[in-house]
Structure 1
């Protein structure tokens, strides 16, 4: 537990917080009502210059709210620029954009989104799979272009029920995806760091073997050194020409160049992608493929989850400044 952090009277009793995330009006108002907000996106300055300027203030920031997804890396250079930081609150469940070892070494607490997003991400994964298999988005474009009348019925898609679905990462999100797809009549297999004693799904310690046994691969694991390009050429070849890949994890979990090649050459049937290697840039080849469904790293976001996330971020900040345990810590409190 950290000790409470008081703010000088000169700041009106509001503790300074770095905001390194674009926010909606509600969150912006909530933050400003409680804290003295130093907003990177309003500053117009380069990141390290912004941090250095904040560090020189009479009451330098002790906490930062940081966007997930890798747009901003909380690494040694970041922490060097603003050494007063004692807490980083990230708005995602993943922490691949934060150097956790460096934060731990410096005594910087880290909080994340916890399980707030898990149900919404699970539904999004199922939605992508249904869309790819039943060709919903492609059929929509077909109708809008007036091709139904001139070219006849759109080609048939494939049913969801009965598919063998291999889930890579059976954590909070992966488990919820499995439960939802069981309701569709799918058979669930999985790969994870170790077998889960609480489930009856068949476990595959090797992802290539999982792919060979599956009709669909859904990527729901964290991104780290072990899972970078966990979907590679060999896995795609094992999945086969009727296989589908769904990625709601991180772009780096999939070798994007090999995925594009497999799609072009008909080595797999389709893909549903919410994340990409170099966001927000999406390879032009993917944009032209009717058997690929694309969304803008939005699986986590609904109106409801955005509201819940705002409440959680503020609660974690208030806990830190009050010397109380964080609600969703990465490190033990």
Structure 2
């Protein structure tokens, strides 16, 4: 039986190619030039697309693929997929929700610890021979109030890790979650006012654009810390930069930021922020698991079975 044609729009490593090549005829187009050429040349044959939330899939591209029947986002995000257009065509949609949640939650706590305890700054000082007596003491993390914005797979795992630090837990999402181990706040502003630390783990997209704005940042206050492991668009970068420079926010840790992959110019010169290049959800074992999860979704689709993680 002929293998279905898969168009891959994101970078893969060799093991990913091997994994997918066993199940699909793979067309690899991980950059803008090869993507346009692949859609123009092979669009009529493509039955499956693999992308991610940042790279997305446009309505015009969907229209160029008359045989397309399944589009998948490798990670949890899907903000740049033309979902409504795909649904109008009857195209099945899936993502990798929950597969990398442990890794992202680990990284969120790492960013929080690094920002609050000034680990990068202390590391740099130690390397130049500066001893602790010349350095300011930093706050304790344990026992503080942690607010979580978005209580999905990642938010819940952040809460479980934070509980190990003896933190009080609160969260805000569109609706209360049954069985949540944290206190629900009806408004984000109320959560920020209550919190010492705020971890952002909500989906990206138009509905959450600049959800973390000047008012929320000001509510956290000069002793507060912000961590973002969701999407850069969720935080107002300009407002964050102003607050960090003025000292009206204690510090921040960001794995994502507006304008990726360009470095956040307004932030890179500041010493009260820790930046990582959108790596929270990546590790060798997570990568293997996400590719296999996508392949399992595709296998279920072609078998006429329900998808594991439909959109």
> TM-score by structure 2 length?
0.94
The answer to whether residue 39 in structure 2 is matched with residue 38 in structure 1 is: no
SS in 1 for 2:266: helix
The answer to whether residue 41 in structure 2 is matched with residue 53 in structure 1 is: yes
Larger Rg: 1
The answer to whether residue 208 in structure 2 is matched with residue 227 in structure 1 is: yes
Coordinate RMSD, CA, aligned:
1.8
Would the alpha carbon gap of residues 310 and 46 (structure 1) be closer, same or farther in structure 2, given more than 3 Å must change? closer
SS in 2 for 1:287: coil
**Is the contact made by 2:237 and 2:266 (CA closer than 8 Å) also made in structure 1?**
no
CA distance in 1, matches of 2:302, 2:53: 26
Q: How does 1:17-166 map to 2 (within 5 A)?
A: 17-41=6-30, 45=33, 47-56=35-44, 60-66=45-51, 68-70=52-54, 72-144=55-127, 146-148=128-130, 153-166=134-147
Could you say which residue in structure 2 is the equivalent of 1:258?
Answer: 239
CA distance in 2, matches of 1:103, 1:195: 30
Would the alpha carbon gap of residues 73 and 213 (structure 1) be closer, same or farther in structure 2, given more than 3 Å must change? same
CA distance in 1, matches of 2:237, 2:126: 30
CA distance in 1, matches of 2:35, 2:291: 23
Query: Which residue among 252, 274, 281 is the counterpart of 1:271?
Result: 252
Could you say which residue in structure 2 is the equivalent of 1:293?
Answer: 274
CA distance in 2, matches of 1:178, 1:39: 38
CA distance in 2, matches of 1:302, 1:208: 34
Shift of 1:88: 0.5
SS in 1 for 2:49: strand
1:203-235 C-alpha deviation (Å, 9 max, x unpaired): 211111111111111111112333211100111
**Is the contact made by 2:27 and 2:38 (CA closer than 8 Å) also made in structure 1?**
no
CA distance in 2, matches of 1:64, 1:300: 21
Shift of 1:16: 1.2
SS in 1 for 2:27: strand
5+ residue gaps in structure 2? none
5+ residue gaps in structure 1? 1-6, 8-12
CA distance in 2, matches of 1:74, 1:168: 27
Q: How many equivalent pairs are there?
A: 311
CA distance in 2, matches of 1:221, 1:119: 15
1:105-143 C-alpha deviation (Å, 9 max, x unpaired): 111111110211111111111111011111111111222
> TM-score by structure 1 length?
0.88
**Is the contact made by 2:146 and 2:169 (CA closer than 8 Å) also made in structure 1?**
yes
1:46-103 C-alpha deviation (Å, 9 max, x unpaired): 53342121125xxx0100111x242x23121121122221101111112112122111
